Amino acid sequence: MHLEVQNKKLNKTMSITKGTPNTDFNWEYAPAPEAKDHAKLKKQYDLFINGEFVKPNSKKYYNTINPSNEEVLAQVAEANEKDVDLAVTAARNAYEKYWKKMPAKERAKYIFRIARVIQERSRELAVIESLNGGKPIRESRDFDIPTAANHFFYYAGWADKLEYAFPNRHPQSLGVAAQIIPWNFPLLMAAWKIAPALATGNTVVLKPAESTPLTALKLAEIIQDCDLPPGVVNIITGFGNTGAAMVKHPNVNKIAFTGSTDVGKIIQKSIAGTTKKITLELGGKAANIVFEDAPINQAVEGIINGIFFNQGHVCCAGSRLFVQEGVAEEVISKLKARMETLIVGDPLDKNTDLGAINSKEQLEKIQSFLKIGVNEGLEMYQSSCSLPKKGFFCKPTLFIGAAQSNRVVQEEIFGPVLTIQTFRTIEEVIEKANNIPYGLSAGVWTDKGSKIFNLTSKLRAGVIWANTYNKFDPTSPFGGYKESGFGREGGLHGLMPYLKF
């Protein structure tokens, strides 16, 4: 594999190879599955309202599955309008009765406690995250769960220092925050939303995505164990109409949504004319730009990490690669070779690099884009890995020779699919990178610092990574330009959307 793939042609013409290579040595990584027995799941989950799990008024439950084998993991309640009303009312009461009056440093202790318990149960949470969402255990264990805990730790620190964060501006909490989060980083997104809301003195109604509710419900258990005053955090599950009821509820003061641009637009329309504050973190189609003077081998690594991290289910994924013409051939051949070493399969195996696609609908959407790309006449390259028979999987894919006019370049695919375009001059690449409705993130690879700073001021993107990709930290704000949304999450900036001055 690897180098041989591209070097077949070379070897025929030049057989200078000295000595005899060891061809019969087989080095297959043995399966190394993470144990599941410490991940305790109930058969049925109710709604977490006012500090306890209650049956839904809708009396309806739906199945949540493991996308890597399509087995049912648990039944989850579907909240209707009445349930939403109960949750919002509970949050309102908790705000007036406890949370608003509590001294900030006491609030901080609760947030700190949540962070500690997430750390303590990190193994269980990582396994459930991978079971329910399909992401490799390596990522849930090394990235999702630790970063979620870090967000709580970080914002616990801010709770009693808001006067110093915004001196002479008298920051005050808003009230009840309705928070709707996506399925790509279920627990991490919950942490991104809940931690700053609590730190600034707001109470919360949170709805996880319908396909990945389990870690959020585990977080509800953690919040119960942490002895938060009842109603400060409410977690309800359901589909789009549950979310719509949350957005429309008159007692909600603040809406925070992460998800698709289409839904973001609907939300914005539905709250027009109200005083509700809103932050939206929506789709993206990031340009990842590789210049001739880049450290090529590390750039290749960064491209791989940029697009195949979490199966490409990342709003800031580096899905549009721009390579300067002089190094295009080298970069593409090295990308192909590197893709061969990616292991696609069981998310719970510690050696897995790419896990399962999150849902059947998402897999179908990705596959339809693959067809579109091929019909548009692009060269499609997929790694030669085999896919498990059951479950939803997609091979890592490249579209070579793409152009701005291709739909696979213009639209967000949200899967392990990378389009490759080439460019000649810096002006050309800036223009092309900005020629998209989105503006969430971008990557720049070059050895020259001045080039990096030139681009950071010209690319219309909220986050720009230089010589690295997909780096997140609680202290660093994150958010988009244009149709990628507005408002910032993380860092000091992440406090502002939850405060009035």
Partner 1 sequence: MTLDFNHSPTIDQVGIEERVARFNTRSIKKQTKVSGLKLALNMIDLTTLEGKDTEGKVKQLCMKAMHPADDIIGLPTVAAVCVYPSYVSIAKKTLGKSGVKVASVSTAFPSGNSTREIKLSDTKFAVDNGADEIDMVISRGEFLKGNYNFVFDEIAAIKQACGKARLKVILETGELSTLDNIRKASDIAIYAGADFIKTSTGKIQPAATMPVTLVMLEAIKDYYLKTGVMIGMKPAGGISTAKQALQYLVMLYETLGPKWMSNEWFRFGASSLANDLVLQLAKEQKGVYYSKDYISID
**15 near partner 1 (CB under 8 A):** yes
**26 near partner 1 (CB under 8 A):** yes
**384 near partner 1 (CB under 8 A):** no
**294 near partner 1 (CB under 8 A):** yes
Question: Which residues are CB-contacts of 348 (< 8 A; sequence separation ≥ 6)?
Answer: 33, 34, 36, 68, 127, 130, 131, 137
**Known catalytic residue at 281:** yes
Site string for partner 1, 312-341 (x = CB under 8 A): ---------------------x-------x
**Known catalytic residue at 106:** no
Q: Is 143 helix (H, G, I), strand (E, B) or coil?
A: helix
Interface pick for partner 1 out of 56, 243, 302, 490 (rule CB under 8 A): 302
Of 6-14, 80-88, 235-243, 360-368, which part binds partner 1 (CB under 8 A)?
6-14
**Nearest-angstrom CA–CA distance, 166 and 492:** 9
Site string for partner 1, 427-456 (x = CB under 8 A): --------------------x---------
Residue with tokens 């410490």: 38
Of 20-28, 68-76, 82-90, 208-216, which part binds partner 1 (CB under 8 A)?
20-28
**27 near partner 1 (CB under 8 A):** yes
Taken in order 258, 149, 74, 309, the sign of the CA dihedral is positive
**275 near partner 1 (CB under 8 A):** no
Q: Give the full edge-to-edge strand order of the sheet including 44-45.
A: 44-45, 71-77, 61-66
Of 3-11, 88-96, 173-181, 484-492, which part binds partner 1 (CB under 8 A)?
3-11
Nearest-CA neighbor of 359 among 317, 384, 394, 387? 394
Interface pick for partner 1 out of 401, 467, 492, 500 (rule CB under 8 A): 467
| CB of 137 or CB of 226, closer to partner 1 | 137
Nearest-CA neighbor of 399 among 388, 413, 385? 413
Q: Give the full edge-to-edge strand order of the sheet including 441-445.
A: 379-382, 397-400, 417-423, 320-324, 287-290, 441-445, 463-466
Catalytic residue chosen out of the listed positions 315, 316, 385, 394: 315
Structure-derived torsion over alpha carbons of residues 201, 492, 278, 439, reported in degrees to the nearest 10: -160
Helix (H) or strand (E) segment spanning residue 339: helix 325-340
Name the site residues for partner 1 (rule: CB under 8 A): 1-4, 6-7, 10-11, 14-23, 25-30, 32, 138, 142, 293-299, 301-302, 305, 333, 341, 350-351, 447, 467-468
Known catalytic residues?
Answer: 281, 315
